[in-house]
Amino acid sequence: MARRAVSLLTLLGVFTRPALLRAAPPDLPLGGIERPPRSEGPAMLLDGWSGLADTWLVLDMVSVLLIALALGAVIAYHPSTRRRVSSLEHFEQPKTLLLYAVVAAVVALIVEVQPAMAFVIFGIGGLLRFRTLVGDAKDTGRVILVTVLGLCCGLKIFVVAIPATVIGWILIYVLERQIAGIIRVSGVTESAMHDATRAYRALIAGAGCRIIGEQTKFIKREFTFVVNAPPTLDREKLQAQFDALPVELRGVVDWERL
């Protein structure tokens, strides 16, 4: 259904774009925004950089990106959804929402300068979403972000590209410091499940990890912890503590994303 919608909207853009171009004055590009004359010779290397000398323009671009990020965070970290976090996917979801908020702001800034680029960005977004295997949703967000940054550079809109790159880098750095993963323990006898769960829970909490989800399967003799780990987590040390547990409480530990 989503792919059909993308196809229909793409066809709509293809058939309506000529009408929009005819509607624009002949001496102006689509949208009626007059472009500055293009430089010639060595001066072409300086095209697009003059905007960075305008402090207020740079601050305006930065404020747009930060406001988009702040409003996105209000939705991403809504208390009602954070209270129901019980899986790794739920914990990682705010990272995706924040990246898409920045991407949308950059796209809007590009379209404001070059309205015709809306069709290009729409086509690229559909191609990346449905024809590119990049892993998790947050990875797709990073791919789209670098794509629109590349568009900014191709259009020489460096006053948008550079602040967006800096903010995007800081955002990814901060978000990826929140390491989330799964610790799965199996092979414990059914009679020792409760005691083993308490023992592993205490060791995980003692290592500075926050348990955001827990599941016990008695039939499979397995219990799982979804944890938020600090960047300084020493996995080898924690594994040694697991191995030092009494034999009746010790199980086979499987690490995921940690």
pLDDT at 38: 62
**pLDDT value at position 68?**
93
Q: What is the pLDDT of residue 5?
A: 40
pLDDT digits (tens, 9 = 90+) for 207-258: 989 888 888 888 888 999 988 888 888 889 999 999 999 988 888 999 987 7
54-63, Cβ contacts within 8 angstroms, sequence gap of 24 or more:
54/159, 57/159, 58/159, 58/163, 61/109, 61/159, 61/160, 61/163, 61/164, 62/163, 62/167
Portions of the chain given CATH number 3.30.70.260: 179-256
pTM of the predicted structure, to 2 decimals: 0.67
pLDDT at residue number 132: 59
Most confident of 117-131, 158-172, 217-231: 158-172
> How high is the pLDDT of residue 83?
63
- Average pLDDT, whole number, for the chain? 78
Residue 165 pLDDT class (50, 70, 90 cuts): very high
Q: Confirm or reject CATH 3.40.50.1100 for domain 179-256, answering yes or no.
A: no
The span from the CA of 51 to the CA of 59, in Å, is: 11
At 117, the pLDDT band (50, 70, 90 cuts) reads confident
Least trusted range by pLDDT, from 75-84, 171-180, 181-190: 75-84
pLDDT in tens, 30-63: 334 445 566 666 666 777 787 788 888 889 999 9
Place of tokens 């209270």: 83
